[in-house]
Amino acid sequence: MSLVQEVANLQNYEEFADLNWTGSFEDYLNIVRERPEVTRTAYQRLYDMILSYGYSEHIDNKKRIFHYNFFDDPLHGGADAVFGMDIPLMRLVQVIKSAAMGYGAHKRVILLHGPVGSAKSTIARLLKSGLEAYSRTKEGSLYTYEWVIPEDLQNITGGEAIFPCPMNEDPLRLIPQEWRSQAFDKLGLNQSERSVRISGDLNPACRLIFRELMNHYDGDWAKVIDHIRVKRLILSEKDRVGIGTFQPKDEKNQDSTELTGDINYKKIALFGSDSDPRAFNFDGEFNIANRGIIEFIEILKLDVAFLYDLLGATAEHKIKPKKFPQTDIDEVIIGHTNEAEYRKLLSNEFMEALRDRTIKVDIPYITRFSQEVKIYQKDFVGDKVRGKHIAPHTLEMAAMWAILTRLEEPKKHDLSLLQKLKLYDGKTLPGFTQDNVKELRKETMREGMDGISPRYIQDKISNALVSERSENGINPFMVLNEMASGLKQNSMITDEKLKARFLQLLDVVRGEYEEVVKNEVQRAISSDEDAIKRLCSNYIDHIKAYTQKEKVKNPYTGQDEQPDERLMRSIETKIDISESRKDDFRREIMNYIGALAVEGRSFSYDTNERLYRALEQKLFEDQKDTIKLTSLVSNAADRETQQKIEIVKQRLIKDFGYSEESATDVLTYVASIFARGDARG
C-alpha cells in the first residue's frame, strides 16, 4: 500500500457524502417534513446547540444555578473552557433562549461587557466554533441552494452555469411570501411542535434571477424551481460561511462596505450598471454571516458610520448594501467591550439608539478561588512547562491573590477578606451561613469588575518559569515576588494607593501559604497510619465510656479507670471544640458510629474528616520534638534525626506532589518557622 493510500484510508467517505449532499427542491421539502428543525432561525439553532451538550444543576447560596456543559469546551478538550462563570453564562443563555422564542431579544445586540481578560472573547469564540461543529451534525444540519442554469439562459447569470445563493439563504424563501402560509399548511409544515416560520425575501441577486426566470416561463413557478439545487450548508469561519468577525481598524482604511458588500467593478462592463445585483459582491461580514453568527470585536470602538448598518441589522434584521434595497438577514449579533469603552457609550448622547438596542451581559472576573485555580492549571501542567516542576500551592497562591484583589472589603468588621474568599468558595466558617454569604454578595457594588486580570497572573508565572532561578522549577515565593515586582511597571494600575493595597494583599497570601505549608508538613510528620489508628481507637474507647458513664480498662495495669479527660481534650482542642461543647461533640461521634453500623459500615480513623484532622494534629504535637525539624536550620542534625526527616521528605514527595528539591526547600522553610517559635501547638 502506498503512503498516499495510507493517508487516504483515514477519510470517512460516508461523512463526506453526507456533508456534501445535494438534491432537488422536492427532496428538501421532504426533509423539512421529516425534520422541520432544519429551518430554524440562527438564534434557535444557537440555543439548541448549547443545550445539545447538556447541563447540570446545583444550589449556590440557596439559588438554583445551571451549568451548561458546552462552556467546558468539550470540542477542544477544554482548551477554551470558561471557569467560574455559571451565573453570567446562565444569564447569557437566557437571553439567547428569549431570542430563540421571538420574545424581543432577537432584535437586540448581545453585548458582553466586563474588565479586560474576563473571557468575553473566549465566550464569543466558543459560540462560533460550537455553531460550526453543530452544522456538521445531523441534529444541526441546515441547507441552502444554488441556481443551475442551462446554456441558453446563462445570459441571466452572466455566463455562469452554477450561481450559488450569495447569502446562503434557506431554500423555502423561494416560495413567494404571499403563498407561504397556505403552502406550509398544504405541505403539513405547521403541524409540528416547532412550526416552520420563514420570514424575509430573497437577496437582490437571487431575486433578479428568480424574476427573470419567472418571466421566461410565463409565471410558472414550478419550472423556475426546476433550476434549483439544494445543498447542505456547513458553517465555517475560515471559509467565511455563516460565521463573521468584524474588528474596528483605522477609520481611513475601513468603510461600511466591509459589513454590507461592495461593487464588483469587473462585472459592471458585463451587466452595464453598477446597480445590477449581479455586479455586486455580497461578501461583507453581515452577508457572509447570514444563517449563523457575527462577532463584533470591541464593538463600541466602531465609527458612527458603521452604527447605522448595525442598528438596522439588529432591529429590523435588514442591511442596506450600496445602491440596493434593504436585504433580509438572519443571524446572531454579538459584541464585546471593556469597561472604559462602555462608560463612553453611557456618556455619549449620540449613541442612545445603540444603547436602546443592546442587551448587556456582564462578564466579571471570577470570584471563586477554586475556579480561578483551574485557569492556571489548564495553562501550566504537563508538557506546557517543559519538564519543570511547579511546587504544590504555587498556582493556588497566585490565584488566591488574584481573587483577593477583586473582592470588596466586607462591611462586617469581624470578617477578613481572606475569610470572605473562603466563604465564597464554599468553605464553612463558625457563625456564618449561606444566608450570610448571600448578604455579602448583595452588599457589594462592583465586585468582580475590578482587580487583577488572569493574563497578568499567567504572564508572571511564565516569567518565573523562564527566570534564571527556575532551573529545575518554581515555588510560590518566586511567583509572588514576580507579581510584586511587576506591579511597579504595570500600566493598567496607575493609582498608587491601589498598588499599595495589592502589595499588602500579597503579604496576606504569604501568611496563608505559611499556614498551609506548616499544616502540610505536620501531616507528613504525623502520617504514621498505625499510630493514628491506635490513637483513634484509644480516643473512641474513652468517649464511649464517657458518654455511657462507664470505666475504661487500663491495658497495662488491668485496672478499671475513669475515662482520660486529658487525652480527650488534647484531641478535641485541635479542632476548636470548646469545653462547653465537648459533650455534644462526643455524643455526635458516637451517634455517627452507630449510624454507620446500622448501614453495615465500620468506623475508621479517617471516616470523620474533622476527627481525622484532630488526630493528625495531636500526633504531630507528640512527635515533633523527637524529629527535631528545627535542626535543619542549624545543619546539626544527628543521623537518627536525618533518617526521620528523610521519611518525612519522601512522604511529601509521594503524598503531596513535591519534588526532591521542593520538598527540601519546604522542610527548611517550615523548620525556620518552628525555630522562630511560630508553630502552632
Closest CA to 561 of 579, 580, 541: 541
How far apart CA 485 and CA 372 sit, in angstroms, is 22
Q: Return the pLDDT at 95.
A: 97
pLDDT of residue 631: 57
Widest Cα–Cα separation across the chain? 117
pLDDT at residue 134, as a whole number: 98
pLDDT digit string, tens, across residues 360-383: 999 999 999 999 999 999 988 766
Give the residue ranges of the chain where pLDDT is below 50.
Answer: 678-681
Dig out the grid coordinates for 396 from the structure. 493556588
Domain residues of the chain, as ranges?
369-523
Angle (nearest 5°) at CA 81 between 78 and 82: 165
Phi/psi at 429 (nearest 5 deg)?
-125, 145
What is the spatial distance between Cα 313 and Cα 258, in angstroms, rounded to a whole number? 14
Instruction: Output the nine-digit C-alpha cell for 190.
Output: 405547521
pLDDT at 383: 63
Q: How far is CA 592 from CA 538, 583, 615, 617, in A?
A: 17, 14, 17, 21
Q: For position 679, what pLDDT does the model report?
A: 44
pLDDT at 630: 58
Q: How far is CA 376 from CA 123, 372, 394, 444, 541, in A?
A: 18, 7, 10, 27, 46
Rounded Cα distance, 292 and 263, in Å: 24
pLDDT per residue as tens digits for the range 309-351: 888 899 899 999 988 999 999 999 999 998 878 887 777 776 7
